[in-house]
Amino acid sequence: MIQTVSKLYVMEDKINEFLEVFKGMIEPTQKEKGYIEYEIYQDEEDPALLIVLEKWESKEDFDNHLQSKHFNKIVPEMVKLMRKEGELNICKRAL
């Protein structure tokens, strides 16, 4: 199982638009092989910082997700609404 942590720095005036675009990712992602969890959170201090937490059965499943049609169609639209590059951590349980 892998856990990914993605910090997404959205333009302050595009948060709702970004979330609308992101919504298109949820259903197709939940249908992918190895999908476990796919949640988006909003930082309380900086509402324009959104954090996506994903759990996948394997790294391979996550890599397939990155190659998926919906990912490559929607993520570029999300990037247009971001104020700077995001951060992605791909992790394994430490304990």
- Tell me, by CB under 8 A, how many residues bind a copy of itself: 27
Residue 31 interacts with a copy of itself (CB under 8 A): yes or no: no
- Can residue 41 be called a binding residue for a copy of itself (CB under 8 A)? yes
CA distance 85 to 64: 22
**Closest by Cα among 45, 41, 69, 50 to 11:** 50
Which residue bears the tokens 């590059």? Answer: 85
Q: In this structure, are residues 59 and 1 in contact, taking their beta carbons and an 8 Å threshold?
A: no
**Minimal distance in Å, beta carbon 16 to a copy of itself?**
10
C-beta of 66 vs 91, nearer to a copy of itself:
91
The Cα 43–Cα 45 span in angstroms is: 6
From residue 45 to residue 74, the character string flagging contacts with a copy of itself as x (rule: CB under 8 A) and all else as - is x---xxx-x-----x---------------
Give yes or no for a contact between 10 and 18, defined as CB atoms under 8 angstroms apart.
Answer: yes
Residue 70 Cβ, how far from a copy of itself at the closest point, in Å?
Answer: 16
CB closer to a copy of itself, 15 vs 32: 15
